[in-house]
């Protein structure tokens, strides 16, 4: 999400552009929005054309599936990366934190995107640009 604030063109596929745009508009207007960290599909995934009804469910949630969850390697990589990020942030699935606080934690504890599953080095400049935009937005909202 921080990278998306830095460069909205990183969401290149129609199936994820709408979700990123929807969530970013909410967070721009209200940086004190409470964010809940979930292991399943999230608000960015809501409405994605790749989500499909599936009675067996998947990592994307009860009664839902996604083409991404049909590849064991992708699921494993997402789970490993998510665990690393949560550990670095000192948070868990189910943790609730304001977007403003989450951005601060990310900038302090994960200053570099070394893991390709969370953006990787190719998105480092977008990540840094996102922090600059978010810090400006967060400061102006408090005044």
Looking at every residue in the chain, the average pLDDT score rounds to 86
pLDDT at 134: 93
The C-alpha atoms of residue 36 and residue 17 are separated, in whole angstroms, by: 21
The C-alpha atoms of residue 19 and residue 47 are separated, in whole angstroms, by: 7
Contact in structure between 64 and 41 (CB atoms under 8 Å) = yes
- The dihedral of CA 3, 114, 44, 27: what is its sign? negative
Question: Hey, where are the domains in the chain?
Answer: 2-138
User: In the chain, which stretches have pLDDT less than 50?
Assistant: 143
The structure tokens 């990592």 sit at 59
pLDDT at 54: 83
Closest by alpha carbon to 1, among 128, 135, 127, 133?
127
pLDDT at 14: 63
**CA atoms within 13 Å, Cβ hemisphere of 10:** 19
pLDDT at 141: 54
Q: What does the block give as tokens for 122?
A: 């190719």
Helix (H), strand (E) at residue 46: none
């Amino acid at each position: 999400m921080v990278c998306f604030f830095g460069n909205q063109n990183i969401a290149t596929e129609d199936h994820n552009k709408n979700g990123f745009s929807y969530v970013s508009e909410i967070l721009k207007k209200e940086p004190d929005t409470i964010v809940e960290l979930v292991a399943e599909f999230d608000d960015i995934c809501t409405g994605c054309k790749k989500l499909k009804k599936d009675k067996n469910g998947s990592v994307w949630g009860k009664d839902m599936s996604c083409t991404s969850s049909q590849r064991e390697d992708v699921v494993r990589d997402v789970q490993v990366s998510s665990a690393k990020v949560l550990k670095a942030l000192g948070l868990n699935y189910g943790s609730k934190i304001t977007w403003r606080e989450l951005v601060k934690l990310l900038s302090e504890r994960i200053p570099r995107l070394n893991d390709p599953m969370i953006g990787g080095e190719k998105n480092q400049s977008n990540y840094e640009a996102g922090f600059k935009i978010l810090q400006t937005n967060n400061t102006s909202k408090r005044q």
